[in-house]
Chain A
């Protein structure tokens, strides 16, 4: 009995330490284990860097870098509460619930996997706590019409729109007819959203046949999938895969002699350095939709300095996932600073009034402005192509660094 009382007293004493008013608590749900652990760990590094820059004082041409803490809020600091969900929706949901009710976070962000962001943001909506995603791309997330959900990243629909515009340019430029389209995707809501966006758009964009194939994440083999693709022999393949699945897929294409004219991938896998290390020449000529490329370092005034700091931490240059998360973190900071108070409703109002110019970010976005569904209407990306083991932007034209190689040469001609 006495020990129980002691515990109660101890809890009563420590509780205020968890919920102080002289700090802003942001809950970060992110995968550092599971199928996207690698990309997750590198994205998380960028999130931590962003808040360190805001909390400290850095000489970087970014808003909130020079001042320590949030200037409008008397220099109040931000504390991150980070937890790994391993890509599992039920875990993400439980973490969100706990962060809101126990840790009293002011705002949630994450979750990389759209499949995790969906249930976690549902919890946030229930409690009226804002949820900002920097990298979960499924358009269904914003289609729910939540009042508390904000998506800074381009969604799959934006990505498909960019893909189709790029393919149309290719058709005109190279004079190659592109009629037959296939989609291969991991069978979660993120992967399926690419298939759905393709279904909605392929006819309008000059294709007359579409096949979609899904597979479970962490599958041991992709043979029947690839044999099916080979039988359909599409001109263009759109792909949504996680890291090691993407490597397995390309090795299976090569093994079975499946050679589409172009592979267009969304997400982190084809852009990750592991992918190129694993596949060497066979990684060449694949296209990725990405939200960062080193060539942006010249076009965005803060990118070089941020990249340097990021390299010191992660041992790797910025790429798609970290750049997007970094950008989203600064959107959060901007809203927190402008908010009338740290009450969730005020933060939500401030988020809704966000109006950031693309030049003030390190992303290729035209800017950040949310529509009534919380979707960033100014989100766009780049399309890069791997040539000689490096990514080069090839679209849009004004950011292009190298001419496109299309159609891709066969596997044995590399």
Chain B
């Protein structure tokens, strides 16, 4: 039974990695910018849900959609105020811009809210149950289900809506898309908004059981980067599967050898994939 538990736990944490990774991949796919501050948007959403709960008594499951809506506009704002100005700049400048944003958001969070570990002790999803000999934690299960749903919605948005198809066109060739009458500037802003909204959903769902500190986002960002690299930079579904793979590999690898080595398996797999397919599992050149 413990093997089943290992698999289930790997998938649950993998779904969260996947959700964070998909937003990251979206921005990279559309405009070739790596957003180092991705985890910080997640942290902001966690704080938003915390304060909605602490001040208004709103359950995090209710405030998560609000956080997503709010973070959509934050994402658009960040694009308009910062990213747009470095679009034509060198890659180093772009890295500094998003990395600087990471430091800035973390420092502001530290200044405003201090480093207290804040928590929402009880939410609607709080609870535990056993099913078929497996242990399930309510908030985690809800978070995983929410991640799966958001991943599906994101996939649908990219592949089935006109805006999504326009985004893909811009990703493929921004200039050609512009000739076809697609406003690439608007598309870039939408990509940032959607990416931030997706990661905000992750943050909101995690706020039901994670301690919230200014560093809470950063701990999810690193695995997400690896997930994006494994899945293929710019591929949304690649990021999804990359996240799942990392979740299962690190949980199972850690369990069967020693948890001390769990990261080793993830990065070994990453190296193997880079050798075998330098553009990741589903990445394109």
Contact = CB atoms under 8 A, between A and B. Distances in A.
B121 A213 contact: no
B267 interface: no
A38 interface: yes
B262 interface: yes
B254 A228 contact: yes
A275 B218 CA distance: 21
22 contacts: A32-B115, A33-B110, A34-B215, A35-B215, A38-B117, A41-B115, A218-B218, A223-B9, A223-B251, A223-B254, A224-B254, A224-B259, A227-B9, A228-B259, A230-B2, A247-B117, A247-B119, A254-B128, A255-B137, A256-B9, A277-B119, A278-B117
Contacts of B136: 255
Contacts of A248: 210-211
Contacts of B252: 224
B13 A411 contact: no
A277 B13 contact: no
B284 interface: no
A218 B219 contact: yes
Interface in B117-163: 117-119, 121-122, 128, 130, 135-137, 140
B259 A214 contact: yes
B41 to A, nearest CB: 16
A37 B114 CA distance: 8
Given A216-B263, A228-B258, A254-B137, 4 more contacts: A34-B215, A223-B10, A255-B140, A257-B130
A73 B121 CA distance: 53
Dominant secondary structure at the A interface:
helix
B168 interface: no
A388 B262 CA distance: 36
Interface of A: 32-35, 37-38, 41, 187, 213-216, 218-221, 223-225, 227-228, 230-231, 243-244, 247-248, 251, 254-257, 272, 274-275, 277-280, 411-412
B236 interface: no
Nearest to A213: B259
Given A223-B13, A278-B121, A244 B137 contact: no
- Secondary structure at the B interface, as helix, strand, loop or mixed, is helix
A244 B128 contact: no
B254 A37 contact: no
B272 to A, nearest CB: 20
A148 to B, nearest CB: 31
Nearest to B10: A223
Given A220-B220, A227-B251, A228-B259, A256 B135 contact: yes
Contacts, number: 117
B121 A225 contact: no
B253 interface: yes
B266 to A, nearest CB: 11
9 smallest CB-CB distances across A and B, nearest first, come from A224-B254, A37-B115, A255-B137, A278-B119, A244-B211, A225-B259, A247-B211, A274-B117, A223-B9
A215 B17 CA distance: 18
Interface string B216-253: 10111011000000000000000000000000001111
Contacts of B25: none
Contacts of A244: 117, 210-211, 213, 215-216
Contacts of B255: 224, 227-228, 231
B253 A256 contact: no
B108 to A, nearest CB: 12
B32 interface: no
Given A215-B259, A224-B251, A33 B115 contact: yes
